[in-house]
């Protein structure tokens, strides 16, 4: 009996080796270099838009005849490691033929590294050679900053008492953003 038990054990081991080795003998594996995956680009709008009084007529320091409220919603685009590109579409309110085209100041802070900085979204100045189509009014030049990887918070605001074409633009409240930077 002892011979039969050893014989079965030997055959069982041979079957296991055969089951493991046989599939790999038939498969041919070719090693090829795969390009690294492209970083995912993510665009995040400021969760709170920048709001300001548009073209306010003032006497002293008080706004007596507010034209209307204007909002600008900047956005942050991430993709490359440690880099954020801030941009903005047009202001939601374009009064007096584009008087709301005002620069937007952005202060940012990386909560992981402690890095901080400031940048400005500059309003593109229209040329005076041709009439400006509505879809080209109040465009902003994107700006890219090296924030470092981590959680980045940012606030955006128009300059206090900025004058555009003789009309003051008065800030109501700043915009705010929370974004994860790879």
Report all structural domains of the chain as residue ranges with CATH numbers, in order of start.
42-181 (2.60.40)
Instruction: Report, as an integer, the average pLDDT of 98-124.
Output: 87
Reduced DSSP (H G I as helix, E B as strand, rest coil) percent helix, strand, coil of the chain, to 5 = 15, 45, 40
- Structure-token pair, residue 33: 């270099």
CA atoms within 13 A on the CB side of 130: 5
For residue 181, is pLDDT > 70?
A: yes
pLDDT tens readout for residues 14-35: 555 555 555 555 555 555 667 6
Report the alpha-carbon distance of residue 157 to residue 83 in Å, rounded.
21
Report the alpha-carbon distance of residue 29 to residue 7 in Å, rounded.
36
- Structure-token pair, residue 31: 């090693």
Report residue 139's pLDDT band, with 50, 70 and 90 as the boundaries.
confident
Give me the residues paired with residue 173 across strands.
Answer: 51
- Structure-token pair, residue 173: 């409240």
Report residue 94's pLDDT band, with 50, 70 and 90 as the boundaries.
very low
Residue 9 parent element (H or E):
helix 2-26
Q: Count H helices and E strands in the chain, helices first.
A: 1, 15
For residue 148, the 8-state DSSP code is -
């Amino acid at each position: 009996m002892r011979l039969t038990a050893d014989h079965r054990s030997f055959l069982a081991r041979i079957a296991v080796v055969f089951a493991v080795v046989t599939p790999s003998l038939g498969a041919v594996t070719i090693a090829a270099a795969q390009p690294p995956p492209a970083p995912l680009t993510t665009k995040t709008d400021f969760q709170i838009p920048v709001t300001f009084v548009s073209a306010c007529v003032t006497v002293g320091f008080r706004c007596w005849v507010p034209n209307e409220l204007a909002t600008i919603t900047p956005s942050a685009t991430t993709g490359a490691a440690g880099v954020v590109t801030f941009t903005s579409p047009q202001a939601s309110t374009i009064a007096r033929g584009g008087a709301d085209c005002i620069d937007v100041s952005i202060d940012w802070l990386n909560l992981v590294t402690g890095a901080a900085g400031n940048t400005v979204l500059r309003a593109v100045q229209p040329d005076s050679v041709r009439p400006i189509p509505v879809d080209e009014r109040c465009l902003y030049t994107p700006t890219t900053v090296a924030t470092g990887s981590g959680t980045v918070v940012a606030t955006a605001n128009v300059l206090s008492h900025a004058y555009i074409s003789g009309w003051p633009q008065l800030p109501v409240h700043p915009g705010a953003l929370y974004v994860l930077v790879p």
